[in-house]
Amino acid sequence: MSATELHTPIERVDIIGVPMDLGASRRGVDMGPSAVRYAQLREKLRKFGIEQVEDHGNLHVPDRESANEHAGDAKYFPVIESVCEKLAQKIEAIVRDGGFPVVLGGDHSIAMGTLKGLRDARGRPAGVVWIDAHSDINTPQTSRSGNVHGMPLWFALKHGYAEGKRTVQIGLRDVDRGEKQILRDAGVTAFSMSDIDKLGMTAVMQKTVEITGAGEKSVHVSFDMDGIDPSEAPGTGTPVKGGLSYREAHLAMEILAESGVLGSIEMVEINPILDQRNQTAILAVGLILSGLGKSIL
């Protein structure tokens, strides 16, 4: 079988863009959904053999100039929460209708909405594979910046949209001191880049599937593109050297696809202003395809 032949069990994919930048400090991440679409996501999904590809367009996100920053420790939180509620409703409807959601960010704060929608649709939290350089589990009190894209996993766990015992983080290499204890207390399994170097990505992903999976389409992957080394994914607002290689990132998605447990994908923190020839968005499209079952042979 050649690399161009089609083999996928996914019949329908629903694309939702969320041009959110209120959770981050660097401008431009709101253009992430457009960059991924420009990289021909819809066309490549159809070429792969997925007959039903429904692009629902972008959710409306108030611009920074019109949004109230909010005086608390989580900047713009009421506005972000409102957008996430709309995203949750969209995700719930798609999943109940048999679709496979592919969410395009936008900054990582949108994960709160995605995870809420999955929980509401299925009656229990999804298993979560969180690929990221950062753990994103700060509380409003431990965060030094007040940026909500560093807090979504904490909010998701707090509100029951995710469970620590079925959440795995992969690729960590920049974790705040306060977050380390929060991770331990929450029961989240974390694989740092050091762990991946020692164990290898195959072993890490096999353990990840074992922890997160609970049947067909029971797992969500929330993929922050800064999880990948900036030499491969330069278009992201908080790059950290020493990240996943191109092949490690694809292997992670391929193993999730082969396991049969993956039910939704979220790609976030793509910033075209910081990118080089749309390299990061093109890589994101390739990773989505790997997660849906595309393989070399």
Q: How far apart are CA 103 and CA 105, in angstroms?
A: 7
Residue 200: both structure tokens together: 């290898």
Q: Are strands 219-224 and 127-131 parallel, antiparallel or unpaired?
A: parallel
Identify the residue whose tokens are 């974790």: 175
Instruction: Answer yes or no: are the C-beta atoms of 224 and 234 closer than 8 Å.
Output: no
User: Which amino acid, residue 130?
Assistant: W
* Catalytic sites, residue numbers: 108, 132, 134, 136, 149, 224, 226, 269
The alpha carbons of the chain give a radius of gyration, in whole angstroms, of: 17
Q: How far apart are CA 136 and CA 3, in angstroms?
A: 36
